[in-house]
Amino acid sequence: MCLQIFIKEKSGWFLTFIPDAKAVTDAPDRLLVLMKQRRRWMNGSLFAATRVLSNMTAMIGCGRNTK
């Protein structure tokens, strides 16, 4: 989604870098749980990559293409 917002400059959305942003995480306490988490993240990344590739022409078009 951030890639689509970045490419579509005139969409009304914007990205901002916040250097003081804080994030809280709950790290897995066992190796097996960590491995399962990493597998889920890899599956999510693969899905996101396929979505980006399948919508590449629409994202590059910046909304100029009408359907």
Sign, CA torsion 51/56/60/61: negative
Per-residue pLDDT at 8: 65
Segment 39-58 mean pLDDT: 83
Given a cut of 60, whether residue 36 has pLDDT beyond it is: yes
Domain ranges of the chain: 1-10+28-67
Tell me the C-alpha distance between 33 and 2, whole Å. Answer: 28
| Whether the predicted model's global pTM rises above the 0.85 cut | no
The secondary element (H helix, E strand) that includes residue 2 is helix 2-7
